Amino acid sequence: MLKLERPVPPSKRPEYRREYDARRAQDPVAAQLTADTKLAWARNRDPASRAVQHLRGTYGLTLEDYDKMYADADGKCEICKKEVAHILAGVGRTEKACVDHCHKTLVIRGILCHHCNRQLTFVEEHQAAIAEYLNPTADEKRLARNAKARKARATKELT
């Protein structure tokens, strides 16, 4: 079982670490960096700014581009036509819209609900295996041909 360790009190820290902590506490630049970091973390906790950062970082989209795509889709999934919420909308009864893109070419295709986006991704990744499973093999074709011929012979003999 994993045992959690208690934090080491400052007096028990190694000497080099205590010196570093003391220098950092006296350095105004380090103090400002710490304040800036805390401000950045606070900004990143805001769901709206995180959503905008996600759009820009993952897809290269601005919020205006996303708004246009969302409006073009009439706020609905482009496959199942289920209503989806805007990415900046709060949690409600509808699920948030997903930006669909091709994983090979990175071309953005449109707005989908989470379910359709996951299913489409699965089908894209396993397309060859699905096609192989659904397409009949030579033996299956032969068996179907034989069954059809037997049925034709049986109806011919009855008449």
- Residue pointed to by tokens 């109806």: 155
Helix (H, G, I), strand (E, B) or coil at 2: coil
Please provide residue 87's backbone torsions phi and psi, each rounded to the nearest 5 degrees.
-65, -25
Model pTM above 0.85? no
From first to last of its 159 residues, the chain has per-residue pLDDT tens of: 334 445 556 666 667 666 766 766 676 766 666 667 767 766 667 777 778 888 888 888 889 999 999 999 999 999 999 999 888 886 566 688 999 988 778 888 999 999 999 999 899 889 888 888 888 777 888 888 888 898 888 888 776
